[in-house]
Each structure stands twice: as C-alpha cells, then as structure tokens.
Chains A and B, each alone.
Chain A
Amino acid sequence: MRDFELLYPATIAEACQALRRHGEGARLLAGGTSLVQFLKEGMYVPEVLVALQRIPALDAVVAADGGLRIGAMARLTDLERHAALRQAAPLLRAALHLVGNVRVRNVATLGGNLCHADPHADPPTALVALRAEVVLGDGAQSRQLPVAEFLLDYYETALRPGELLQGIIVPRQERGQVSVYRRFTAVSEEDWPCVTLAAVGSVRGRAPNLACAALRLVVGALEPRPRLIAGIDELLPLEAGDAARRETLAETVMAQLAPVDDLLGSAWYKRQIAGVLAREALADLFQQGAAP
C-alpha cells in the first residue's frame, strides 16, 4: 500500500472542497471495509483519503416523507438493530443482515456500500426493490436520484466530481406488503453471493385461495447493476395454486438475465439459481401472505 494523506473534514462542504481540490487523487473513506482491500491490492492508489467519520450526524436515521432517511455513514449493524427501520423496511434489514460477517457490519456503512458499487453487494438489490433514492450533495446543493439510476457499472456511480452521498431515502413498506431477500453462495458460505434476489409484493385472499396482486422482483450479483425484472405485471394476479404460471414467472426471470461465467459459476448455473430463488421467493411471499 502506498502512502496517502488522511483528511478529517468537519463538514460536508469541507469534504466536497477537499474532493474538488484533489480531483482524481482523492477518495472518500467511510467504513473502509472494501476500500482498504482495494488499497492493499493496488487497485486504488489515492494521494488523499477524505474520511467522513467526524462529520456530525452523518449517520443519523430520521423520519422522512413517506419513509426514513438514513445517513450515509450509518453502520450496517446499527441499521440492522434500528427498530424504526426494521418496521419500515424489513426487506432492507434482511439484506443488511447477510452482508459479510458481523465484524464487517460493525464497521461498514450503508453509504460506503452503495458508493463502492460492487454488484455482489446485498443492500443495493434490496434498495432497488424498495424504490429507494439517494441524496447527493456538493456542499452547496443537493439532488435526489433513484438507487437504480445511481448505480452505473462495476465500481461506478452517478456521483459527480466534488459530490458525495449524504443519505438514502427508503420508502416505508406499505401495510400488507410482503417482501423477501434471498442470497445464494456457490463456493463457501462466507463468500460473495453467486445470485441475490429481492422481492416486494402484495398477496390477497385467504389460504389456500391466495393471489399475488403486485410484485417487484430484482436480481443482483449477475450483471453490473441490479436487474429489475420487467413484464411481471402481465402475469398478475398470480394465484398460488397456478403452478404453470408460477413456472412462467421463474422463466421470465431467467430469460431477462445476462450473467457471465466467472469463479462463482457459469452463466448457465447462475441462471438456474436465479430461477430457484424466484420460485423460493414466491413461495415465501405466499407463506407470508397466508400468515394471520
């Protein structure tokens, strides 16, 4: 690892100023769990690290219009344990719980996780399913973007030079909404996921005559950004007992994905697993819908 200067700005404005001053030579430091790996591997060789730890209240979780606003520096463990968040967005909580291990989650932040923009990360898939938005600021002005538009490519986001991620707005999951997060690791249990899947929907009726009336499915880890599955509405309402249509749904998911062969599995295998996760997720949603 090469030497670098470590700055601790006291405000967002100062942090953005430092980013502008050092340009390409600067990187933001949040929890550092991914950044330090990249520094050690020589993938990033920054001259300046702009650490966000001392900016007050950047880790706060506050009620926002129709949901919660999570400060970029909120740590994953704190969010997992946050009662209001758990209630407002159980899907996010389920995804956070699967990130790395407890030592990583004690340090890693939600903002850092998003800005790192690794397609294998769990939170982005869940956040896209939840229609979450990011708040970006340059110290003077701020703008809001859907997470789905914030993530551009491997390790690439819509952040402009001199801009940083201030917070994430997570809409409250509606009453009666059911959700599920699934992750499959192919090699070791402690590994990047081979496939992730987040589903948010609503289930009507009484068991056994249940029907899925709304469904938003997002598949992660397979492509540079989470894939929102299109064309699901045409299959709705989907009755629990309609095995053929449930299979059509799984096939719809598999058909839209463009995975690549890598160390986590072949494209063929990843597509099979995405189908398995889609079937499991649907079964899980019906199960939740059947619960009193």
Chain B
Amino acid sequence: MAMEAGSSAKGSSIGRSIPRRDGAGKVSGSAIYAANIVRPRMLHAKVLRSPLPRARITAIDTSRAAKVPGVRAVVTARDLQARLGCEIIFGSVLIDQPMLAIDEVRHVGEPVAAVAAEEPEAAEEALGLIDVQYEELPPVLNARDALAPGAPLVHQAMNLSGQYKVFFAFNPVAGTNMCNHHVITVGDLQAGFAASDLIVEGVYTSPSTQHCCMEPHATVAEYAGGRLTVWTSSQAPYAVQTRLGPLFHLRPEQVRVVVHNVGGGFGGKSNLKLEPLASALAMLLGRPVKHVTTRREEFYITSKHAVEYRVKTGVSKDGKLLARRCEVLYDTGAYAETGPIVSMKSGYTAAGPYAIPNVLIDIKCIYTNKVPAGSLRGLGVPQVAWGHESQMDEIATCLGIDPFDLRRRNVYPDGGLFVSGENLRHFHLDTLLDEVAAASGWKTRRRAAADGARLARGFGMACTMKNSASPTRSQARIWLSPEGVAEVRSATVEIGQGAGTVLVQLAAESLGMPVERVRLALLDTDVVPFDVGTISDRSTFHMGNAIVAAAADLRRQLLEHASRLLEVPKENLVLRGEAVCVLEAPERKVSFAEIVSAAAPEAGLLGEGEFATTSRLSSIAEQCGEWTTPFWDVAAAVAEVEVDRATGKIKVLRYVCAADAGRAINPALCRQQLAGEILMGIGMTFHEEMRYENGQLINPSFVDYKMPSLRDTPLSVEIVLAESGHPDGPFGAKGIGEVAVPQVSPAISNAVFDAVGIRLTELPLTPERVLRALRAGAKG
C-alpha cells in the first residue's frame, strides 16, 4: 500500500518537504501573537481566582481594590449581569460555565472577580485587595465519588441549550453529576463470556494532564461602532465568533475574530476561554481590554480528562476475542467543556480496533470540583488505549500467543463491521501492524543481555484507532491577484503544526503554480470564510479539500476567460506554468496575469470552495450503519525499553511507529508531527500529572509539573510513514496530528512487562511505581 513519496510528477508541490511558511517569522521573533496586540486606550485585565474547590460566595468587597491608582474597574458576576444585561454563562456543549463565578465556586482557580487597569501591575495589585468571603462546601474530588448516591451535585441544574446536542448523541442525566451517559451494545455479551475459554479483567487509570502550550491564552477585545473585535489565541476563530456573539446579543457578522500565530493548541484553544470575559469588560468599559494569562493560571483553565477504564474481555483459547465489556469514567472537572464529546468520541472506540462480536461500552462523563477538562491531543483515545492495549498484552501472555499475532488475529480488516454499525472505510491498521513489525524486527527480536542483575530489556507493541470530527464544514477562497499571485484565504490556524505550509502546497498543486507564488491571507473572519476549527486532525483533509475545490473554481474561470481570449474552446485548453495553453499548440498561451488583467483588471479573480462531511456520531445511537467519521486515524508502534531494577527507572531505547498519512503532502512536516506526538505521549507516560491534594492543585508550575525534556526522549525514534491514498482526501491525504499519541503508554508499559514481568495499570509510570511493583512481585 505504500506509495513512494517521490512518485509525484516532476515539479509537483505534493510530497515535497518545502520549508515551513511560519518558520522564519518565529525564529526571528517577528511573528505576531495575540499578546503582542496593542490598541489605543487599551486596559489590562487580571482575574482573582478561587482558592477553594467548592464554596458559596457570601460576600465580595471590591472597594479597596477599586482605589488602587490606575484601576478602572473591579467587577464581579453580579456587576456583569446588572450592567451588561446579558448572559454571562457560556460553554461549547453544555452552557454551564460563568465568566465569573455566580454565588458558588466549583474548582480551585475559577475566576471570581476581574480587574481592568491602565497597567497590568496595577491590576495585579488590586487583586490582592479584593476581599471575598466564602462558606466552604464539601467538594467532589473524583469521578467514582461523584457517582456515589448522595454525592453533592457540582451543578444543581444542567442547562441543556447547547448547540451540539443534536449532533452528538449525548445524554446528561438530571439529578446526577453525569453530563453524558451512553451505553453502546453489540451482540450478546453474556453469551460471549459464556463461550470464552479465558476471561481477563482490569482497571487502568490515567491522570489529568495539561496542554502546556508555549503560548499561554491571550485575548484582546474591543467594542466599537456596534462591532466586537477579538484578537485571540484560538484554534477555532469561527467557533469564537458563533459562540461569543449570542452571549452579547450580537449577530455573527457583528463579531470579528483575528488570529495571528498561535503558539500551540493541542485542543486547549478550541473553545471559548478568555474571550467572553475580555469582551464583557471591553463592552462594559468602552475601551479595549487585553487579558493574558500567566503560566500558573494556565493550569486552572483547561486540562485532559483523568480516566478510569474498567475492562473485562472473554477470549477463546486460540486467541479470538469473543466478548468485551468496558466502563469508562471521564472526570470532566467543574465544567463540561468538550467533555461530552471527548467521552463519546473516544468511548465508542474503547473496545479497541478489534472485531469483537459481543461488546458493551458504558461511557460516563462526570462533573467533579476540579479544573475543567476538554480536548487534548488524542481526545480521550490515549486514556482508553492505555487500557485496551495493556490488556491485549495480558491476554497474549495468558494464552502464550505472540502479542503481534493476537492483534493481527483480531484487528478490524478494511471494511470490517465496527461497533457503530458502519463498515470501516479505508482502514488499513492490519497493514500498519505488519509494517511496524517488519521495521522493528519484531519477529526476530531478542532481549539484548543487559546487565543481568540490574538492567533488563523488553519489547512492547500497541495499535489504535481514532476518528475525526464530523459533521463539519470548511470553506476557502483563493484570490488570484492582477500580478498572478494566488492568496489562500482560509480560517485554518497555524498552531505550529505546519498547516499553512501544507495548504499552500495544495493550492499550488491544484493551480499548477510554484509554491513561491502562493501566499496565505491573515486570518481575519472579515476576510476568510467559515471553518469549524483547527481541531481533530481535520485541516489537511477538510480545509485541504475546500482549497482544492476553490482552486477548481478558479481554474474553471481561468479556462473560460482564456477560451475567450485565445478563441479556442476550453476543452482544448490546459493549465501549465501559470498560464493557460492550447492543448495541441502549447506555444499559444495566455498567462494568469494576462487573463486577470483582461477579465478583472485591478480586482483579480476569486475562486471559492467548500467541503462538508455528513458522517455523524449520532448514528451510533441508532446503529444505522452511517459513517461516523470521514477518515480514521490508525497507527501501530513498538517500543524497546531498559528497566533499572534498582531504581525502577525506565529508559526507552527505541521507538518505532507506523502511521498512515494517506498521502504525505509535506513528508518532513508529517514526521515532525509524529515525532512531536510521540514526545507528548512520552510525557503522558512518564512525567505528566496534575496532582491534587484535597482539591488543591499542588504542582501548577513547570518547576513541579514536568514535561519531557530532550534528555527524556527515546534514544531512537523511527517513523514509518505509510501512504495508503485516502479516496476522499486531497491528493489522498488525511490528518496525522493526533494519530501517534495513544500507542505510546501501552507500548512502553508492555515492554516493561516483557522486561521485568510487572504489569502497571496507573499512569504515569514513575520509577517509584515500577520499584514498588518490582518489590511486590519479588515478595509474591
């Protein structure tokens, strides 16, 4: 299935590792971010955050804070409600999150009051002078406790007016802390277990982690002439526009969103964050307001779901999975954020990429009094894959079957019938397993004799599936200037992934132009058309298709105009080298610049395109056989580790990942993405955990919360970039921004088991956990 990267036609822009468009600006420091925006008369906002996980606010005295020189306003939820006369509760799925706490705080770090001042220092000083009286309430601090009968309710009443309700079959349960509960069943679970020769059960937990974007959240809001303009660090400018407007009774066109560079998103900037409060302050005060968070505050804004994944599997002695029951608890924190989507979309893959005739998946997304959890690279799949891929290894051990053979025997074939009732379309995980086994030398692997007494080596494997967002829509325009330069107008955000570069390559290829003659327009919703967001691996696929469509529209116009100018039927014309030529007499031609000058002098030509997907997750509920995703993210990986029996420390010696890019538009960027994903997976595996004690986050800084450093990377990372050519992707391409994260933890943990015989079920795999398991194993 692999297609050679260099097989494209000579001069093609596809399959070429051209330099990143955003590179020079970033390394030279000239790139603009939201925090760089300065507006005349701009004020600076800071927020006072709750020190308690759950409490009633009995009084707020802002009088002393208001007297600090330079302070222009100190506001509470009550002030916003009274003076703005608008809704101050927002959300992306459930409308449940206030801009400032109303009467009750629900997590440590929740905004309670805001200050706007001439200088950030004055705002900071004023925060210390706000006097808040709290009456402490018993908090709910984990998902299991939150389900217990009589547990306090994080939200007394859930507001169900969220716009996604129709699309995602999500189901909040009134009178409980569950903001989504869903059960998927296939076949007859009891019969499946009854027919099984072996039943294996386990619970696998993953903690909450942080996105740790290099750029913290930042927003500048300005309200003038009946329009709200927001410069913000967002992955989804149109989501900001469509969700911000209604809060302030503004129509979408009254909200303008501008996004320059974004220093990392990973899902943490895909919904409203600072925008509502900054906008409210700007409207209230009639002056532009800037709000930039500190690194510490970043830890209180959004996070990854802590997950408890309970799985029971029945299997025949020849290694066929016959039944699997999964219960997945997602701790979504105090506000739903995208939790209902995360739980639904990863939950329905919780049984893993395996054809199992009898399945039950019980998905519960649960409110607790912790930092809200939303989308984070992999959207819940890393947490469920941690469980199902660890257990695959346990089953293989119990049955004495090679873990590769067990996976190969059960993995969905292309076209296999998925739990959603759909036949998996263009699904080549079986081939990727073969490729990763070949590349890693799995079949001939030998545990190199390390230091026999102290060091031990082992190999582990994992493979996973993840969907992409749907139904969604992307629109694009390409403007061909009178000079014949093409400008791509797209709302896809450059968040460091290289999307801008890839979209330029797709436009250039579609128009037969060199990439040097294609530029990207600034992302301003007044200029670029709609896109749902730079999320869910969808930019190359969805926006890529929209750009290809816009280019086709432009090509059609060029051919029509050229036909008139050359007096040749357009069927006899062809685009070549920034010109339209006569097919049989290529020397007879008219350049793009000449066509534009003749057809639309000074104005240029505008091509428009759109791509929308209709596949929808709600089909799971009905099991009606519709597609749930336009394409599948699939990858398989092998890890080789060395475990130090004296300290419990794990070193990853080698990591091999085979991922399907469909078609690598820019192979270097694909490899960078995958390497970045693996490193993020290394962080989730070994280092990262938001640690809570009594509802207090105890490590909200990079001193105490550790991400992997370069010295923590595997000694060798090898990437097999498969190119299966997706029939619906632009030039066969699909997204690969999240595909390689979910295998990392289980592949490494399985390798640890291979090395020293201990099975770890809690992430992260700290040396202490390893040492304790080794000691426990030695005793047992």
Q: What A residues does B704 contact at CB under 8 A?
A: 263
The docked-state distance in angstroms from the alpha carbon of A191 to that of B767 is 14
User: Which residues of chain A in 210-226 are interfacial with respect to chain B, using CB atoms and an 8 Å cutoff?
Assistant: none
From A186, A192, A265, residue with most partner B Cβ within 10 Å: A186
The digit string for A255-272, where 1 denotes a CB below 8 A from any CB of B, is: 000000001011001001
CB of A141 within 8 Å of the partner chain = no
Which one of B121, B706, B771 lies within 8 Å of A187 (CB-CB)? Answer: B706
Complex: how many Å from CA A192 to CA B706? 10
B591 at interface by CB-CB < 8 Å: no
A101 to chain B, nearest CB (A): 9
In-complex Cβ contact of A269 among B124, B691, B707, B768 (8 A): B768
Determine whether the beta carbon of B646 is less than 8 Å from that of A37: no
Query: Is B597 part of the binding interface, using a Cβ–Cβ cutoff of 8 Å?
Result: no
Docked-complex contact A188 and B771, CB < 8 angstroms? no
Contact call B647/A188, Cβ cutoff below 8 A = no
- With a cutoff of 8 Å between Cβ atoms, the chain A residues found around residue B698 in the complex are 263
Q: Which residues of A contact B706 (CB under 8 A)?
A: 187-188, 190-191
Smallest CB separation, B472 vs chain A (Å): 37
CA distance A269 to B772 in the complex (A): 9
Q: Which residues of A contact B121 (CB under 8 A)?
A: 2-3
List the count of A-B residue pairs having beta carbons below 8 Å apart.
Answer: 49
B17 at the interface (CB under 8 A from A): no
Query: How does the 8 Å CB contact mask read for B622-648 relative to A, with 1 for contact and 0 for none?
Result: 000000000000000000000000110
Whether the pair B712, A272 counts as a contact (CB closer than 8 A) is no
B714 at the interface (CB under 8 A from A): no
**A288 to B686 alpha-carbon distance, docked (Å):** 34
Q: Indicate whether A273 reaches chain B with its CB closer than 8 angstroms.
A: yes
Q: Quick check: is A184 within 8 A (CB to CB) of the other chain? A: yes
Whether A273 pairs with B699 at a CB distance below 8 angstroms is no
0/1 interface trace, chain B 698-712, chain A, CB 8 Å (1 if under):
110101101111011
Interface residues as binary, A170-190 with B (CB distance below 8 Å gives 1, 0 otherwise): 000000000000001011111
Q: A-facing mask of B98-125, CB < 8 A → 1, else 0?
A: 0000000000000000000000010011
Q: Provide the residues of chain B in CB contact with A207, threshold 8 Å.
A: none
Chain B residues with CB under 8 Å of A263's CB are 691, 698-699, 704
Interface contact B701-A41, CB-CB below 8 Å: yes
Partner pick for B647 among A184, A187, A192, CB 8 A cutoff: A184
Interface residue? B766 (CB, 8 A): yes
Pairwise interchain contact A37-B703, C-beta atoms closer than 8 A:
yes
Query: What is the chain B residue whose CB lies nearest that of A187?
Result: B706
- In the complex, the answer to whether B767 meets A186 with C-beta atoms within 8 Å is yes
Residues of chain A within 8 A (CB-CB) of B647 are 184, 272-273, 276
Q: Smallest Cβ distance from A212 to chain B, in angstroms?
A: 21
Residue contact A190 to B711, C-beta cutoff 8 Å: yes
Residue of A nearest to B296 (CB): A41
| Measured CA separation A186–B703 after assembly (Å) | 14
Complex interface: chain A residues within 8 A of B772 (CB) = 269
Q: Which residue of A lies closest to B713 (CB)?
A: A189
Majority secondary structure, A binding face: loop
* Chain A: minimal CB distance from B4 (Å): 38
- Binary contact readout A15-35 vs B (1 if CB under 8 angstroms, 0 otherwise): 000000000000000000000
0/1 interface trace, chain B 744-780, chain A, CB 8 Å (1 if under): 0000000000000000000000111001100000000
Asked if B457 CB lies within 8 Å of chain A CBs, one says: no
A186's contact among B711, B712, B768, by CB below 8 Å, is which?
A: B768
Does B687 sit at the interface, judged by CB under 8 A? Answer: yes
Distance in Å: Cβ of B723 to nearest Cβ of chain A: 35
- Would you call B766 and A187 a contact (CB within 8 A)? yes
- Whether A188 lies near B712 (C-beta < 8 A) is yes
Chain A residue with Cβ nearest B764: A187
- A276 to chain B: closest residue by CB: B646
Residues of B within 8 Å of A273, CB to CB, are 647
Given contacts A263-B691, A273-B647, contact A188 B709 (CB under 8 A): yes
Q: Which residue of B lies closest to A272 (CB)?
A: B771
Q: Are B703 and A187 in contact (CB under 8 A)?
A: no
Whether A188 and B768, one on each chain, are in contact in the complex, defined by CB atoms closer than 8 angstroms, is: no
Q: Is the CB of B699 within 8 A of A189?
A: no
Contact yes or no, A189 B711, CB < 8 A? yes
Report the minimum CB–CB distance from B647 to chain A (whole Å): 6
- With both chains docked as a complex, state the minimum distance between the C-beta of A108 and any C-beta of chain B, in angstroms: 15
Q: Which residues of B contact A3 (CB under 8 A)?
A: 121
On whether the beta carbons of A187 and B701 are closer than 8 Å, the reply is no
Please, which residues of chain B bring their CB within 8 A of the CB of A37? 703
Which residues in chain A, 228-280, are within 8 Å of chain B measured between CB atoms?
A: 263, 265-266, 269, 272-273, 276
Docked complex Cα distance between A192 and B699 (Å): 14
Residues of B within 8 A of A188 (CB): 686-687, 706-709, 711-712
List, in ascending order, chain A residues with CB within 8 A of B767's CB: 186, 265, 269
B686 proximity list for chain A (CB < 8 A): 187-188
Q: Are A186 and B766 in contact (CB under 8 A)?
A: yes
| Distance A192 CA – B702 CA, assembled complex (angstroms) | 11
| B766-A189 in contact (CB<8A) | no
Kindly report which residue of chain A lies nearest to residue B709, judged by CB atoms.
A190
Residues of chain A with a CB closer than 8 A to B711's CB: 188-190
Q: How far is the CA of A189 from the CA of B767 in the complex (A)?
A: 12
A-chain residues with CB within 8 Å of residue B709 when the two chains form the complex: 188-190
- In the docked arrangement, what's the CA distance between A2 and B709, Å? 31
Q: Which residues of B contact A272 (CB under 8 A)?
A: 647, 771
CB distance from A143 to the nearest CB of B (A): 34
Question: What residues on B are CB-neighbors of A276 within 8 Å?
Answer: 646-647
Partner of B771, one of A41, A191, A269: A269
* A251 CB → nearest B CB, Å: 15
Which residues of A in the span 24-59 have a Cβ within 8 Å of any Cβ on B? 37, 41
Q: Chain A nearest CB: distance from B299 CB in Å?
A: 13
Q: Which of B125, B686, B706 has the most chain A CB atoms inside 10 A of its CB?
A: B706
A38 to B698, CA, bound (A): 17
Chain A residues near B703 (CB-CB < 8 A): 37, 192
Interface residues of A in 191-210 (CB under 8 A from B): 191-192
Residues of chain A with a CB closer than 8 A to B701's CB = 41
What's the Cα separation between A91 and B708 when bound, in Å?
A: 28
Cβ distance B656 to chain A, nearest Cβ, rounded Å: 22
Provide the residues of chain A in CB contact with B296, threshold 8 Å.
41
Are B768 and A189 neighbours in the complex by a CB distance under 8 Å?
A: no
Residues of the B chain whose Cβ atoms lie less than 8 Å from the Cβ of A265 = 766-768
A sample of 11 cross-chain residue pairs with beta-carbon separation below 8 angstroms, ordered by A number, consists of A41-B701, A184-B647, A186-B766, A186-B768, A188-B709, A189-B712, A190-B712, A192-B703, A269-B767, A269-B772, A276-B646
Extra contacts besides A2-B124, A187-B687, A263-B698 (13): CB < 8 Å? A41-B296, A184-B647, A186-B767, A186-B768, A188-B687, A188-B706, A188-B711, A190-B706, A190-B709, A266-B768, A269-B767, A269-B772, A272-B771
Chain A residues packing against B (C-beta within 8 Å):
2-3, 37, 41, 184, 186-192, 263, 265-266, 269, 272-273, 276
Counting from the closest, the 9 A-B pairs by CB-CB distance are A190-B709, A189-B711, A188-B706, A269-B768, A187-B706, A276-B646, A189-B712, A265-B768, A188-B687
